[in-house]
Structure 1
Amino acid sequence: MIKKYKNSILLLCFLMGLTSATEPGVNGKRTEKADQGWRINFPKQVEYCEQMPSSDSLFIFFMAGQSNMAGRGFVEPQDTIPNKRILTIDASMNWVYAKEPLHFYEPKMTGLDCGMAFGQSLLDSLPEGVSIAMIPCAVGGSSINKWLSNQNHRGVALLSNFKSKVAFAKNYGTIKGILWHQGESNAKAERIPMYAQQLDSLIAIFRETVGNDELPVVIGELGRYTEPEDKQARWDALNLQINSVADRDANISVANSEGLTHKGDGTHMDSESQRELGRRLAKQYLEVTKVTK
C-alpha cells in the first residue's frame, strides 16, 4: 500500500512538472503554452511577391527604433490579411506580401507593430498605381546611443543593418520616409538633455545614407500611460525633446501618444494602440509631404 501511495505521488509530481512547463511563466517570460497562444494567429504561410512593382511606383518606408516600433502587440486575424500593394522583406531579404508581424529580429518577443496600419492608411491617399514597402529595422531595448555608435544589440549591428537594408531597397523603389519610435531606453535624468542633439545627429545619418537631405521622418511619442509618476515625468520630458527636433525641421513630424494604452506592462502598446499609432504616423506623413491622389 505504501509503495502504491509513493508511486501515485511520483506520478502526480511528474504530471505537475509537465503542466508547469507549458503554463504561462513569470518575470515576463512566456513558456511553451503561453508562447503558442501568443503566436496562434501568426501567418502559417509566406506569400512571396509574384511580380515586383515598377521602381517608380514602389514607395519604401523604414521602421526604426526600439520595442514599440518592433511591435509587442497581440496579432489578430485582421492583421494578417495581405494587401498586394503592401510589401515587406523576410529575414532572408526576399520580398513578400506583408502580414503582421513584420519584424523578425527578436523571434521570441516579436508581435504586432504599426507597419501594416501605416501602410493601409497611407494607401487611401496615394494614387492607385502606387505600392508601399515597409522595411523592419527596429530592435527592442536599443538606445539612441547604440544606434549612433553602431553597436551590436541583440544580435543586430543597428546602423550597419539599416544601411544594408537601404542599399538593398534602393534597387527596387524610392525611399520615401522613416518611421522612428524610440526613447524608453534614454528616458533617464542624465540622458534626457542630450536626446534632441542625438536625434538630430541620427536623422542626419539616416538622410545621408538614403541620399536625401529632406527625407521625411515621422516620430511617435513615448506613451502617456506608464507608472510611477516620476517615470512618466521622464517620458514626458523626452517627448519634449522629440518635439523640439520636429519644431526645427519642416520635414520632421511627431505623432502624439494621447489616449494610447499599454498591454498591461506599462511599457508596450497594446494591439489597438499599435494600429492607431500606424494611422497617426500616416496622417503626420501626409501633412508633411502634402501627398494627394
Structure 2
Amino acid sequence: MKKPSIFFSILFLLLLTSQKGFSQDPNFYIFLSFGQSNMEGNARFEPQDTVANERFMLLQAVDCPDLNRKKGNWYPAVPPLSRCNTGITPGDYFGKTLAASLPDSIKIGIINVSVGGCKIELFEKDSYGTYVETAPGWMKGMIAQYDGNPYGSLVELAKLAQQDGVIKGILLHQGESNTGDQFWPKKVEGVYDNLLSDLGLAPDSVPLLAGELVSAEQGGKCASMNPIIATLPSVIPNSYVISSADCEAIPDGLHFSAAGYRLLGSRYGEKMAELLMKE
C-alpha cells in the first residue's frame, strides 16, 4: 500500500519542479548593478528620462510608498532605479540602449543596489560588517535600507529574479572612495566570485562591466583611479571597462551630469549588446 503513496509523492514533486522551470523565461535577461553614488544616481532626471520601455523592467530593491513601489516587485524601469529619492543612473540608458539593440522577443530586467560614498569593502560578503561599523552615520542610514547588508540584499533580489529570468551580466560603477587602492581589482574579483557562487552561476560565466570615473578632461578629482580600473580585465577575464571619455561631469569633479549618465549608460548597453550577440 505504501508504493502508490511514494509514487504520487514523487510525481507531485516532479510537477512542482517542472512548473518552476516553466516560469523562468530564457528571454528575460537580468542584470545586477551595484556601486556607489554614480551608480546610485546623483543627477536629477528629466522628462525625457521617464519614458518607459515595456521591455525594460526594474526589480525594486527597497520599499518606496510614495512611488507606489514595493521591494521585490517588478515595475517599468524609469528613474529612480536605486532608492526612493535618487536620480538618473548609468543603468537607465544601459537598459534603453540594450532593448533597442536586441530582438523584440528579449526583455530586460535590472536590479540596483548602490550606496553613495561607500568603498568596495561594503560588498565583501564576509567582512562588510567591519566596514559598516566604521561608516559615517549618513551612510549607515542608506545601508539600513538594504537591511544592513547591501551584498546580501543584492543576492536575495537576484535569486528572486532568477525565478523569472536568467542573469546575463553585472554592472559596476565604484572606485571614488577607493582611489589609489592597487588592490581594488582583487577586491572586485572577490565580490564577483561570491556573486556567481551564491547565485549558482559558473565561474567567469557572466560578463562584468565596470565604468571609469569622471575623466581628468572633465575635471575628475578621482581620475587617477581610472588606470587601476583599467587593469580589471587582467584579474577578471570576463570583465570590460567602459570609457567615461566626453561624459559630462558637474563642478564637484565626482559626479556626472544627466547628459553624462546618458552617454555612459549607453556605452554600457552597447558593450553588453556586443557581448550578447556573440553568444
TM-score by length of 1: 0.72
Question: How far 1:204 moved relative to its partner?
Answer: 1.0
2:185, 2:229 within 8 Å by CA — same for their partners in 1? Answer: yes
Of 166, 169, 183, which aligns to 2:161? Answer: 169
Q: 1:77 to 1:263 in 2, by over 3 A?
A: same
Query: Does the residue aligned with 2:232 lie in a helix, a strand or coil?
Result: helix
Residues 280, 218 of structure 1: alpha-carbon distance in 2 compared, 3 angstrom cutoff? same
Q: CA deviation at 1:150?
A: 2.9
> What is aligned with 1:158?
150
Q: Is the 8 A contact 1:60 1:175 kept in 2?
A: yes
* Alignment coverage as a number of residue pairs: 230
1:284 aligns with 2:253: no
3-state SS of paired residue (1:257): coil
TM-superposition CA deviations, 1:205-255 (whole Å, max 9, x none)? 1221232221111010111148988x44xx32x222222121344421110
Which residue is 1:196 aligned to? Answer: 185
1:147 aligns with 2:117: no
2:32 to 19, 41, 62: 62
Partner SS state of residue 215, structure 1: coil
Contact 2:186 2:235 in 1 (8 A): no
| Counterpart-to-counterpart distance in 2, 1:140 and 1:226 | 23
Select the structure of larger CA radius of gyration: 1
Q: Distance in 1 between matches of 2:262 and 2:185?
A: 27
Please give the per-residue CA displacement for 1:8-43, whole angstroms capped at 9, x wherever unaligned. Answer: xxxxxxxxxxxxxxxxxxxxxxxxxxxxxxxxxxxx
Conservation of the 8 A alpha-carbon contact between 1:226 and 1:266 = no
Residue 233 (structure 2) pairs with residue 246 (structure 1): yes
Corresponding residue number in structure 1 for 2:214 = 223
| 1-structure distance, mates of 2:199, 2:227 | 27
Q: Deviations over 1:143-190 (max 9, x none)?
A: 111211234542131211111111111111001101000000111x4x
Runs of 4+ in 1 over 6 A off after TM superposition: 226-229
Q: After the TM superposition, which residues 245-264 of structure 1 pair with which residues of structure 2 at under 5 Å, given as runs?
A: 245-264=232-251
Give the drift of 1:89. 2.4
Distance between the aligned counterparts of 2:59 and 2:192, measured in 1?
23
CA contact (8 A) 1:252 1:288 kept: no
Is 2:212 the partner of 1:207?
A: no
1:103 — aligned with what? Answer: 82
Structure 2: stretches of 5+ with no match in the other structure: 1-22, 63-70, 133-139
Among 166, 180, 185, the residue aligned to 2:177: 185
Q: Which residue is equivalent to 1:30?
A: none
Q: Secondary structure at the match of 2:101?
A: coil
Residue 59 of structure 1, CA deviation: 0.4
| Partner SS state of residue 231, structure 2 | helix
Any unmatched runs of 5+ in structure 1?
A: 1-52
Looking at structure 2, the residues matched to 195 and 183 of structure 1 have their Cα atoms a distance apart, in angstroms, of 8
Code of the residue aligned with 2:243 in structure 1: it is N
Residue 112 of structure 1 and its aligned partner are, at CA, apart by 0.9
Name which of structure 1's ranges 244-253 and 270-279 shifts more when overlaid on structure 2.
244-253
Whether 1:85 aligns to 2:76 is no
Cα distance in 2 between the residues matched to 1:227 and 1:256: 13
d(CA) in 1 for partners of 2:26, 2:79? 25
Q: For the Cα contact (< 8 Å) 2:28–2:164, is it kept in 1?
A: yes
Correspondence for 2:97: 121
CA distance in 2, matches of 1:250, 1:136: 23
Percent identity (aligned): 30
Aligned-partner SS, 2:72: coil
Shift of 1:54: 6.0
> Which amino acid in 1 is paired with 2:56?
I
